[in-house]
Structures are given as C-alpha cells and as structure tokens.
A and B are shown apart, each in its own frame.
Chain A
Amino acid sequence: MNGVNHIAILPVLVPLLAIIANILLGDQRAKSRVLGLNIGFSGLLLAVSAMLFALQFGAEGIATAVYPLGNWPVPFGIVLVADRLAALMVLTTSILAMAVMLFASARWYRRGTNFFPLFHALTMGLNGAFLTGDLFNLFVFFELLLAASYGLVLFGGGRNQVRAALHYIAINLVASFLFLIGVALIYGSTGTLNMADIARALPAIAAEDRGLFEAGAAVLGIAFLIKAGAWPLHFWLPNTYSVAPPPVAAMFAIMTKVGFYAILRLWTLVFAGGTAEEAAFGQAVLLVLGFATLAYGSVGVLSCKSLDRLASYLILVSAGTLLLSVGYNDPGVTGGGLYYAVVATLAAGALFLLKDILDQILPSEAQVLAVSLELYGDEEEELDEDQEVSRTIPAAATIVSLCFVVVGLIMAGLPPLSGFLAKFAMISSAFSADDAPTAATWWFMGAMVGSGLLVLVSMVRNGINIFWVSLPEGDIRLRPMEIAPVVVLLLLCLLMAVAAGPVLEAMTETAMALHTSAPYVEAVFAGGEAQ
C-alpha cells in the first residue's frame, strides 16, 4: 500500500496521538511546552486535513479514498471513506479546532483539568464520524465525541453547567439508544451495516421487510435530528451551548453539523437515489421540521438579550436552514447548503469566541468574571500575568466591532458576504430545480429571507446595546492570542465570498456526487478489497 491510501485514517490518528501524549505528560497547566505540543498537534491535524481536502478536490472526477481497517474486505470489515463531503467536513472541523485551540491556549485551559485530552477526543470523534463508512462505527464515534463533549460542557465546573450537562447527557443517552434501535432494525432487514452495502442491498430486500427498514431509518433519523437540533428535539441545545465555556461552545458549533452530515449522507445514499416514490420517504418530514426549526430559531433569536443565547439560537437557525437544504432534495440546493454549512460553522464559532472577548471588555461582565475567577481558584499571580499578556491594541474597539458586524452580516445573509451568497445559491437553485416554482419553493424562499430579517433585527439590537451603550470609554485591552483566531475565522468566511465561484462549483459537484449514489457505492467496493 502506498502512502496516499493511509491518509484517510490520519485525521483520526493525529488527535489520538495527541490524547496519548497529553495523558503521558499529565495535567501540567501553564507549561509552555504543553501548550506548544497541543498547538502543534492541532496544526498537524490541520495540515493532514488540508492534504486530504486537496486530494479530493484537486483530483479529476470523484476520487474517493477508501481505507479498509485491518485490511478486511468491504462488507465484512469496517471501512473509512474519505469522499469530497467527508474531506470538506473534516477540513472545517480542523480549521475550527485550530482556532479554538489557539483561543483556549490564551487563558481558558487553566480553568479546569484535562482540557487538552478532552478537546482532542472531541476532534477525533468528529473526524471519525465524518470519515466512517459503517453505521455501527458511526455510533461508536458519536459516543466518543459525546463523551468528550460531556467532559467539556462540565469543564471548569459550576452549578449552571452541571445542571445543563445533566439534561444534555440524559437526552443524548436516549438518542444513543434510539440510534442503536435504528441500526439494529436496519441490520435485521438488510443484513449489513456498511452504508454502501445497505444502499446496494436495499432494492433486493423483500417487500415485507421494506416497512421494517423504513422504520429503522426513521428511528435512526430521529436520533440524528436530536443531534442536529431540529425542532421539536432541540430544547437541550440553547441551554447547553450558552452555559458551556466559550471555546467549547465554539467547537460545538460543528456538532449539530454532524447530525446534518449523517442525515445528508444516509438519506441521499439510501433514498434519494431510488425511484421517485422512494425518494419521497421522509422528505416531507425533513422539510416541515426544517421550516419549524428555522421559525423557532428566528423567533428565539429575537428574544435574546445576551450574546451567548443569541449565538445558540443562531445555531438553531443554521440547523433549520441546513435541514431545508437537504429536504429540498436537489443537488444545487444541497450544494448551496454545504457552502452555508461551512460558513455558518465558522461564523458561529467566531461569535462564541467574540462573546468571550466582549465579556472581558464590558464592565459589568468583568466583575462577574472576577467573582468566578475567585470561585474556581485562579491565583492572583495569574491575574497579574493576564494583565501582562493582554495589551492595548490600537483600534481594538474597531476590530471587535468590525468582527461583530461581519458575523451579523453573514448570519443574516446580507450582501456582499458569504452568508448572502449561500442563501442566494440555495434560493436560485430551488427556483431552477423544477420547471415552475412550486408552493414549497415559495415557502423555502420566504423562510430564508424572513429568518434573515429577524436575525438582522436581533443582531443590530444586540450590537447597539454592546457597542454604543455599554462599551467603556478609553483604550481596550485585548489578548492577541484571543482576537487573532476570531479574525482569521472571519477572514476565511470573507475569502469564501471572494472565491465564491470556484468554491460553489466544487460544492455543487460534491452535492451532485451525493445525489447519484452509485459512484460512492462502487468506489467503496472497489477500494475496499483486501490488498
């Protein structure tokens, strides 16, 4: 086997090595070499993901990297499949992880114990979930990332965190059981757990087993919808995300996208490739839930008075938009949805980080922070050290407020930034999908534009409250390590707006590949033979 074949497993192995290294070194807080090591691992992961991405998007046609684990031939062993969608999601995860890692290295990792191993475990679970081609393996990676996320929600401790984590864990345990029931039903009716093999075996299953299979798919879908934050299964989300430590919440911005990814992957593979009658299975449900999530999220955004809750509801808005883009079942719309998924993840992550920066600047919040510092045992020396690290950056207030404006424009989908381009791509594809726009098309457009308006109103109101009312006079002190990741994340969003043509084209091709599932199935079987 040559080196190229092994690249599909590297995004899982690098964080695993990072976990091991951290555990061997022990929990040594405030040691610069531990920091360097962890930033190094995140950088390595970013490099590996970028290589995987370049391999997928640079190659002619659809080059799917298939990695049979333990060299077992495909339907019998577990297989990792890095196609374009997986590579895209892995790269997004790695970019976000790098930014969050830098941000947390400035200050946050000292708030509790074992931040770095948990963080790497989360990225490992995310990458594994995106790469795996096996349903049960997907369950295992889900559990891995959930276990890490439980630890991270609780990171630093505190009454509200524990209370939110209690709900979060209970909901996710129930979701895991639903996942298992769905997987078992699908195994019982098709006799396989490999996603490509399921797609291949589906036309051959007996008519009386068909109902069993669809029941399994529906139960599995509910488990994914819980993770994706779809109405009415999302009530855990705003509470959990708003009490989680800001860097953790920023990383969680991609966790709802795992649910979206799983639905997109399985639904397009299994149902969208069939006849028109089969393709309709669950489509109405996805659309209705998408509309409901978008509506609930948008109204929720309006009700928010604090930035952390606002960001959590924005996650719901993006979850609703993404559900709609899948449910519309058109390659062009899905392509726009993929573009939106990347942009919304990066922008939401940036907003959670920005919120923490603003918390330090705003006077009332600063007092709360001081109290919590006392509670959680940061010594005074560290406070002094913090003072040294943060410095007066010229035009700091301008940078922070510009970042906020950019996030607002992206989230509301206003021109000229990438949020607008994503929504525009989705709406224009929706109109050109059929000969004449249907009722669903008009609803689709109305929901996109309407939610954008509500988000804009709320962002403007919060922006006025923060920047014109509460911001203190005089110089503002910022840590370069904290503001830099935010700026970089937003610059990437801007870059995606500048290079929108080629990026959108690549996304649409990716969506095309998803909607014709045969090449994926063939690639998995061809690449999965023992070598």
Chain B
Amino acid sequence: MELTLALAIGVLAGSGVYLVLRPRTFQVIIGLSLISYAVNLFILSMGRLRTDAAPILSGSDANPADYADPVPQALVLTAIVIGFAMTALFLVVMLAARGFTGNDHVDGRN
C-alpha cells in the first residue's frame, strides 16, 4: 500500500508541477488541482497508513492504538475546502484575464 500511495502522490505531483509550468492558464489550473490532490494524499499519509481503523474513539476504555490518527483527516478536510475555494477564485480571475486580453496565455500575450 505504501508503494501504491507513494507512486500516486509522485505521479500527481509530477504531472501537476509540469502543468503549472505550462504557458496556458487552463493548464496551470489543472496543474494546481493535481498538486492539491497530491498534497491532500500526502497529509493523509503523515498520519501513518492504517486500514480498517476508525478515527473517532468510542467508549471510555478504548485503546488509542486501535484507531487511526484523526488529526490529518481533519487537516485534509480543511485543506480540501480551502483549496477548492481558492481554485474557484482563480478560475474567475482566469476568465476575467481571458476577457481582457483575448487569449489564454498566462502573460496575456502569445
């Protein structure tokens, strides 16, 4: 599972970085989305990989070792929401730039 996750993060981040460095605004925004997926997976993996473990303790005699770390999951939720909002805002600016300059180059000219 570690290998699969590491590969997934690596491929997502690599493609994302490549796309962010491209000259078209649409490529940049897709690249940013891919990087955000990679970052979210990475945060999750920092809570150590566990399968079949619930994040929330139940009962007073529960052993914390049987549970997954809930903090990274909460962080990922926050990061997803913020990343989503920022990407939406970026999309609006991108459309405005398209309207002003008449093309989709990040510098406004080909």
| Interface residues, chain A, with chain B CB atoms under 8 Å away | 136, 140, 143, 146-147, 150, 154, 157, 159, 162-163, 165-167, 169-170, 173-174, 176-177, 180-181, 183-185, 187-188, 193
When chains A and B are docked, how far (Å) is the Cα of A159 from the Cα of B39? 32
Give the Cβ gap from A74 to chain B, nearest Cβ, in Å: 15
Beyond A163-B97, A167-B106, whether A180 also contacts B71 by CB under 8 A is no
Find out whether the CB atom of A184 lies under 8 angstroms from the CB atom of B72. yes
Find out whether the CB atom of B71 lies under 8 angstroms from the CB atom of A193. yes
Find out whether the CB atom of A173 lies under 8 angstroms from the CB atom of B32. yes
Q: Please name all residues of chain B whose beta carbon is closer than 8 Å to the beta carbon of A183 when the two chains form the complex.
A: 43, 75
Q: Please name all residues of chain B whose beta carbon is closer than 8 Å to the beta carbon of A159 when the two chains form the complex.
A: 100-101, 108
Nearest residue (CB) in A for B74 is: A136
Q: Please name all residues of chain A whose beta carbon is closer than 8 Å to the beta carbon of B107 when the two chains form the complex.
A: 163
Q: Offer 19 A-B interface pairs, CB within 8 angstroms, sorted by A.
A: A147-B85, A162-B96, A162-B97, A163-B100, A166-B94, A166-B106, A169-B90, A170-B20, A170-B90, A173-B83, A176-B82, A177-B36, A180-B39, A180-B79, A184-B39, A184-B75, A187-B46, A187-B71, A188-B47
Which parts of B46-73 form the interface with A (CB within 8 Å)?
46-47, 71-72
Task: Indicate if B93 sits at the interface (CB-CB under 8 A).
Answer: yes
Nearest residue (CB) in B for A193 is: B71
In addition to A163-B108, A184-B43, 14 A-B residue pairs with Cβ atoms within 8 Å of each other are A140-B78, A147-B89, A159-B101, A159-B108, A163-B101, A167-B106, A170-B106, A176-B82, A181-B39, A184-B46, A187-B47, A187-B71, A187-B72, A188-B47
Give the Cβ gap from B9 to chain A, nearest Cβ, in Å: 10
When chains A and B are docked, how far (Å) is the Cα of A181 from the Cα of B58? 30
Q: Please name all residues of chain B whose beta carbon is closer than 8 Å to the beta carbon of A165 when the two chains form the complex.
A: 93
Total A-B pairs in contact (CB under 8 Å)? 82
| Interface residues, chain B, with chain A CB atoms under 8 Å away | 20, 25, 28, 32, 35-36, 39, 42-43, 46-47, 71-72, 75, 78-79, 82-83, 85-87, 89-90, 93-94, 96-97, 100-101, 106-108
When chains A and B are docked, how far (Å) is the Cα of A96 from the Cα of B85? 28
Q: Is the interface of B mostly helix, strand, loop or mixed?
A: helix
Q: Identify A166's interface contact among B32, B79, B97, CB under 8 A.
A: B97
Give the Cβ gap from B6 to chain A, nearest Cβ, in Å: 14
Q: Which 6 A-B pairs have the closest CB atoms?
A: A188-B46, A184-B46, A184-B43, A159-B100, A163-B108, A177-B39
Give the Cβ gap from A263 to chain B, nearest Cβ, in Å: 21
When chains A and B are docked, how far (Å) is the Cα of A163 from the Cα of B106? 8
Nearest residue (CB) in B for A146 is: B86
When chains A and B are docked, how far (Å) is the Cα of A123 from the Cα of B43? 29
Nearest residue (CB) in A for B36 is: A177
Beyond A140-B82, A162-B96, A162-B100, whether A150 also contacts B89 by CB under 8 A is yes
Output the residue of B46, B72, B100 with the most chain A CB within 10 A: B46
When chains A and B are docked, how far (Å) is the Cα of A389 from the Cα of B72? 55
Find out whether the CB atom of B78 lies under 8 angstroms from the CB atom of A136. yes
Nearest residue (CB) in B for A154 is: B93
When chains A and B are docked, how far (Å) is the Cα of A187 from the Cα of B90? 29
Q: Please name all residues of chain A whose beta carbon is closer than 8 Å to the beta carbon of B93 when the two chains form the complex.
A: 150, 154, 162, 165-166, 169
